[in-house]
Amino acid sequence: MSGFLWNAAAFIVALGILVAIHEFGHFWVARRCGVKVERFSIGFGRALWRKFGKDGTEYVIAAIPLGGYVKMLDERIEAVPEADKPLAFNNQPLWQRSAIVAAGPVANFIFAVFAYWLIMMIGVPAVKPVIGEIAPNSIAAEAGIEPGMELTQVSGVETADWQAVNFALIGHIGDESMTLTAKPAPTSSYDRDYQLDLGRWQFNPEKQSPLTTLGITPYRPAITLSIAQVVEGSAAEQAGLKQGDKIIAVGDTELSSWQRLVEVIKASPNQGLSLMVMREGQRESVVLTPDARQVDGKVTGYAGIAPQLEAWPESYRFTQQYGPLAAIPEAVQKTGQVISMTVNMIKKLITGDVGVNNLSGPISIAKGAGMTAEIGLISFLGFMALISVNLGIINLLPLPVLDGGHLLFFGIEAVTRRPVSERVQDFGYRIGAAVLMMVMAVALFNDFARL
């Protein structure tokens, strides 16, 4: 229950900020164009808070935090006094009306740049994308990629860390081929291109990593037999195991790897295991009785311990951090990459190269908001930047109920030199609303299917 509340709170905060920024874009440009704004609302439904500004605008926070709107004076909606007609939206020049409508998505893109700028300024600890293993007969193996190589680019996009690699790979879902650029080793001064045939690439974003489906396993420091963490209230804590203990044997059998210990624990739910541990230079005997847990229909043992890893090589570690000015082009470039990937994915959804099961709705977004907020500010900012870009692009789709639909009508008006008729606009709104509801229904179905 606490997890649900945390996700809901993070979702409301994230969506509230992003909607406010989107609607503020419309509001700010409308005011600059001399249009009278009657209401600025974050959310729909019953007003939880309202205030009237000196400018006559009613500012509202409403009960349903799934959107918002800016209500402008408009003769098409209600009668307007003769004195106020110059302030009505519909009486403004075409370029001003277009600017007001486009300002919402543009504000979302600007926020994404700002969020990435903050991230670049704060700095992100990262590791170089060095390959640990390549699965035999995999797509990567057939392309000639080998363990120990460092991936430097994915189809021309620079990849400083594994997050950048994953992000770039996802953009190639549905493609026939892809180019990976790699150094033979992190210390090498040259690299070369490898062409990957994606014809048999099967990738489920909800359950699989794009790396593992290509046959690539990132390098990780070796796992030791020492305990890094003991979960509070777990079977390990009840047995007396402590952080820093080194488990050297189970019964009379010496352990050769942590993985072997995991296998023994999983196979022994509710069964006592005699462990030999090394603690502060002394051998001690501990009896561990793993808890029983249901995993994929099978009962397995669970101890509640995590292992220590050997230190990362210093040459693999770095911090992505820039000064205030240097961070600006980096943030713009990152936002551009996200926009490009999002547009590409929408195009693939339309053409059928990517299945509609990849669509996500508010439940998935809430889970993502809660998870990233729990990790920390950097992750939450990155998540908000990603959703902000998606919000901006979706609003630019040429559906009449969205900003892009209004811009489509304005484009027709620019060509024909007369506004689109009310009848055509009304028909378009009905079609647009039906398409949007259908997409939302599919996204919600996917959300529930993932629970």
Between strands 246-250 and 291-295, the pairing is unpaired
Catalytic residue among 23, 78, 133, 310: 23
Answer for the pair 89, 72: CB distance below 8 angstroms, yes or no. yes
210 token code pair:
């794009």
Q: Is 219 left (phi over 0), alpha (psi -120 to 50) or beta?
A: beta
Cα–Cα distance between 141 and 147 in angstroms, integer? Answer: 10
Which of these, 341, 338, 337, lies nearest to 171 by C-alpha position? 341
Contacts 24+ apart (CB under 8 A), 397-401: 397/346, 399/431, 399/432, 399/435, 399/436, 400/425, 400/428, 400/429, 400/431, 400/432, 401/429, 401/432, 401/433, 401/436
166 token code pair:
């994953």
What element of type H or E holds 403?
helix 403-416
Residue 408, CA atoms < 13 Å, CB-side half-sphere: 16
Cα–Cα distance between 393 and 357 in angstroms, integer? Answer: 20
Is 23 known to be catalytic?
A: yes
- Kindly list the catalytic residues: 23
